[in-house]
Amino acid sequence: MVSEYSVLTDEELRLLPSDEDVLRYEKTGWYLSQKLLSDAETETLTQASERFYAGHRDRELPTRPDRLADWSPADGEIQRNNDYIHYRDEAIAGILRKPVVAAVAARLARTPEIRTFMATLIYKPAAPEEKSNIVSWHFDKYFWPTCSSDNMLTAFIPFHDCTEETGTITMVPGSHRWKLRHGAERPTGDPADVAREYLLEGDAARNGASVERVPVHIPRGHMTFHHCMLYHGSGPNRSPAPRRAISFHLQDGANTYRHYRNSEGRQQPYKHDALVRRTPAGEPDYADPDFCPTLWPARG
């Protein structure tokens, strides 16, 4: 391995995707890792998340951007999503910065640099009838129109064994290569859209593709990585315990801010744009070390 891998132990080097794994990721759009986190680390994530829900913050956001996902107890027992967990909780951030996680992402994306883009803490309650428990089909890049790169990816990190019963992530292999995409304002719809899988099936038809749905069993300490253009979703949690996870969105070093206007001609910002520092040209800097820290190459 080249010098940037010197921060990894011999055991961690063996956890990296093989050449065959990288080729499979490029074909299918997703990858199930080996065990990257210890049981002690996943227990730390669970304990830190409970402290966060109880009100603990190491840092507060300097301002509240539009469309911030930020569950509070007043919202009740729905699916909890809390953005910027990597900024607000140092115990969680320390585990997300584990070099082997970013090294896996860099191998899959074939990029020399990986930065954080967003980390969202997720709690899916054991309430199968709750509509918020269903995440309808979508691809992540849709929500990032101000990103210049189509090589971004997401690590889905459960804190425990994650199965179809718990509402694990479900992939649509190969959908990241579809060229024709829907023109809807949002890729998620009302419950009727979820039931008829309207957007997913529509995009598959546009590309002459068939739809395969793969629910991924993720053992504790393992995680999945998926391409930013890959369709995925999740079903309700039918288990007796909450499903706890982090959706860890990652950007390659080539990603920068770009101007984007929606179908009505309005500038459509991302929530980062109210928080990150500015470049010399006055644009949002998606390499801001506070909100989008560099993870790979890791510093020893």
d(CA 156, CA 121): 10
pLDDT at 129: 87
Q: How far is Cα 96 from Cα 98, in angstroms, rounded to an integer?
A: 5
Evaluate if residue 100 carries a pLDDT over 80.
yes
CA–CA dist 42, 59 (Å, integer)? 22
Residue boundaries of the structural domains of the chain: 3-296
The CATH number for 3-296, chosen from 3.40.50.720, 3.40.50.11310, 1.10.510.10, 2.60.120.620, is 2.60.120.620
pLDDT at 1: 46
Beta carbons of 89 and 52 less than 8 angstroms apart: yes
CA nearest 295: which of 117, 149, 134, 152? 117
pLDDT of residue 195: 40
Q: Is the pLDDT of residue 240 over 50?
A: yes
pLDDT of residue 20: 98
Query: Strands 153-158 and 224-227, how do they pair?
Result: antiparallel
Q: Average pLDDT, stretch 237-254?
A: 97
Residue 237 has a pLDDT of 95
Containing H/E element for 125? none
pTM for the model:
0.94
Q: What is the 3-state secondary structure (H, E, C) of 226-257?
A: EECCCCEEECCCCCCCCEEEEEEEEEECCCCE
- How confident is the model over 171-210, as pLDDT tens digits? 999 999 999 887 544 443 344 444 446 688 889 999 999 9
Look at strands 232-234 and 243-252 and give their pairing. unpaired
Q: Give residues with Cβ within 8 angstroms of 96, minimum separation 6.
A: 86, 116, 119, 157, 246, 248, 295
| pLDDT tens column, 123-172 | 999 988 888 888 888 899 989 999 999 999 999 999 999 999 999 999 99
pLDDT band (50, 70, 90) for residue 263: low
Q: Where are the beta strands (DSSP E) in the chain?
A: 30-32, 80-82, 114-124, 135-138, 153-158, 169-171, 214-215, 224-227, 232-234, 243-252, 294-296
